[in-house]
Structure 1
Amino acid sequence: MPHSYPVSVVGICHTCQVINRFLTKPICILGLGLIGGSLLRDLKAAGQLAYGYNRSASGARHAASEGFDVSDDLESTLSRAETDEALIVIATPIGAVDGMLDKIKELAPSCGITDVVSVKSQVYDLVGSHGLADRYVGGHPMAGTADSGWKASQEGLFQGAAWVITFDHALDTHGAVSSSWVELWYEVARMIKLTGAEIIPSRVDHHDAAVARVSHLPHLLAETLAVVGDNGGALSLSLAAGSFRDGTRVAGTAPALVQGMCETNSEALVKALDEAIELLAEARTGLTAKRPSIAELADAGYRSRIRYEARSGLGAAQQDAHVATTSVSGRPVLRLLPGAPGWVKQLIHAESLGARIEVF
């Protein structure tokens, strides 16, 4: 029998009809680096029952010393999750997902699964190959720093951030999904809400195309800028200031993590990279003209940045400081009821708008 835990019945807020605060099940997080660790911190701070596994024994000890329920024993953690009927969150690098799914299928065969991996198509394919599609709802928080590991994790990392939730299984089954999958989708949405993030629905391929542009390409550009600056020698590095610092911030990410993100999303990333190379080539042509000019690129870039600031809800000063915010973004909002007639069409519409959703 499952352990007895406080259960919060799904309810409707009388003022805004949004989802109830707590999940009906505990949450088990597999991988407690920057993202998984920050999620565990947020869930505990919110009063939600959550525990986790970390491959690093030292990381697990550090987390436990801070009062978190953490183990470095994967099999015992998954057995506990099965007993608890927990929601499992895969928060490992993409290269470890296949093996993690093997273990989940063996030791926690009835648990619902979500993840926080930055590439969604490959994870969805892996889930399908393990026969777990009806137990999976994908996720990806668009937040982070250049640091990694438990010590890099922080409470509040996801506040105001976009957090993608996928719904491909509903389309692949032509809407004939099980009630348990709808409930799982609902539970994942509630978990996201507990972190203060904004829920953004997307299909896996649309997600990967978007993050290639706004997450993975920036890594390539940051690495390139860091190398070009370093190649300038000691004087260049001594003179490097704000624009170089901000432009190369994510170049401080562990190389293996960057490879995992970019190489597993290569097809979408190459399309975005080609577009960037074309813009740079045009800028080079403009600079080699008799009267050098980059007016077109500078103007287009400025207008694009203004649109981003309006959508994110943050001004330039806040963006430059990399601060979290409790303000609501400029993303449009749609409200929906999971499982209701037409709810998948609503998700597609929200995706087309880049809208955040409130679930009731």
Structure 2
Amino acid sequence: MRDLQSLGERVYGFTLHGARAARRDGFDVSDSVEEVLRRAEEERALVVVAVPMRAVASVLDQVAEFAPSCWITDVVSVKQPIYDLVVERGMQSRYVGGHPMTGTEFSGWTASHEGLFASAAWAVTYDYARDNPGDEQWAELFTVVCRMAAVVGAEAVPVSVDRHDEAVARVSHLPHVIAEALALVGDRGGTLAQSLSAGSFRGATRVASTDPDLVRNMCETNAESLVPVLDEFIELLQHARTSLADDRPSLDSLTKSGHRAHLRMAARKGARRESVSPVEISSRPVMRVHPGAPGWERQLEQIESLGGRVEVF
């Protein structure tokens, strides 16, 4: 809302918590979901579902009741469970899933700020197009969602719901699990460990300050993808422990392979800031797509395989 309104877009919404604070800041926010959805239906607005996973089903039911013809997208951190709920309600022809890969460890209206989405990847799902490539209305919705992401400075990245959930299990949900466990281990060191903790510990545990209910919602609803990834992580830790417990302790394998992996991921994110002559490396190859054109869904699959971003025209 902050970014869209600052850029001249018309936006309004509903929230259970923080509506008064948002109105004080000059935003059109109501504490009546029925009022907002009826208004959206009258104006044929795009409905953005931005609630914890546990609330999605009830919100979709309210959308079905009060805004039965509105297009829908969301910003929830899992996609397969959302898509299942959408399909159950027969809403798939007016839904495009979304997940902006950005945020802070804080929650609520006062934690939001302009510029949050700048250069962030914004996952945009396209599963419906595989079975319905010629649906022009859905192609238009896909275009609208991609353009909304672009307006706030993000980069639309096409994804299928299953591949999205496996990827975020690795780079978003697993870090939350690690941060919680690491915070516990550090805390058990008592006041001395707390006094000696520095940047590496604070950085590694930053997301442990996220609302526990939000973390549970993310991780529990993506358990099918998260458990194998967690097993993979535990195996690496177990191997490191075995190597350190040897007569000649060694972390050679983990440190070297981990360092190489970090360099590969950093290269995809662009030049290092400390480089003498930084050269921007495009982290997400760009492909232009005309939604609804023949074969456009195959183009999206190709872009997904490259981890690229899509520009619509």
TM-score range, shorter chain: over 0.9
Instruction: Say if 2:301 is the partner of 1:340.
Output: no
One-letter amino acid matched to 1:107: F
One-letter amino acid matched to 2:163: H
Q: Is the 8 A contact 2:133 2:292 kept in 1?
A: no
For residue 329 of structure 1, report the CA deviation from its aligned partner.
Answer: 4.5
Aligned mates of 2:281, 2:291 — CA distance in 1: 23
2:106 alignment partner, SS class: coil
1:261 alignment partner, SS class: helix
Q: Deviations over 1:76-128 (max 9, x none)?
A: 00000000000000000010000000000000001000000000000000000
Aligned mates of 2:184, 2:205 — CA distance in 1: 9
Residue in structure 2 matched with residue 217 of structure 1 by the alignment: 174
Residue in structure 2 matched with residue 12 of structure 1 by the alignment: none
One-letter amino acid matched to 1:55: L
Aligned mates of 1:233, 1:204 — CA distance in 2: 43
Q: Residues 131-150 of structure 1 correspond to what in structure 2 (within 5 A)?
A: 131-150=90-109
The RMSD of aligned alpha carbons is 1.4
One-letter amino acid matched to 1:49: R
Structure 1 stretches of 5 or more lacking a match? Answer: 1-39, 318-326
1:225 alignment partner, SS class: helix
Q: Is the 8 A contact 1:166 1:203 kept in 2?
A: yes
For residue 314 of structure 1, report the CA deviation from its aligned partner.
Answer: 5.7
Residue in structure 2 matched with residue 255 of structure 1 by the alignment: 212
Aligned mates of 1:197, 1:249 — CA distance in 2: 23
For residue 289 of structure 1, report the CA deviation from its aligned partner.
Answer: 1.0
Structure 2 stretches of 5 or more lacking a match? Answer: 275-279
Q: Residues 254 and 314 from structure 1, CA distance in 2 versus in 1: closer, same or farther, beyond 3 angstroms?
A: farther
For residue 175 of structure 1, report the CA deviation from its aligned partner.
Answer: 2.5
> Which of these residues, 234, 250, 258, is aligned with residue 301 of structure 1?
258
Aligned mates of 1:183, 1:352 — CA distance in 2: 23
Residue in structure 1 matched with residue 2 of structure 2 by the alignment: 41
Percent of paired sites with the same residue: 56
Instruction: Say if 2:133 is the partner of 1:175.
Output: yes
TM-score normalised by structure 1 residue count = 0.84
Aligned mates of 1:190, 1:305 — CA distance in 2: 31
For residue 313 of structure 1, report the CA deviation from its aligned partner.
Answer: 2.1
Q: Is the 8 A contact 1:160 1:329 kept in 2?
A: no
For residue 242 of structure 1, report the CA deviation from its aligned partner.
Answer: 0.5
Residue in structure 2 matched with residue 165 of structure 1 by the alignment: 124
For residue 55 of structure 1, report the CA deviation from its aligned partner.
Answer: 1.0
Instruction: Say if 2:307 is the partner of 1:354.
Output: yes
One-letter amino acid matched to 2:106: D
Q: Deviations over 1:28-84 (max 9, x none)?
A: xxxxxxxxxxxx00101111111111112xx11111111111111110000000000
Q: Is the 8 A contact 1:314 1:329 kept in 2?
A: no
For residue 141 of structure 1, report the CA deviation from its aligned partner.
Answer: 0.3
One-letter amino acid matched to 1:284: R
1:248 alignment partner, SS class: helix
Aligned mates of 2:38, 2:187 — CA distance in 1: 49
> Which of these residues, 243, 268, 275, is aligned with residue 286 of structure 1?
243
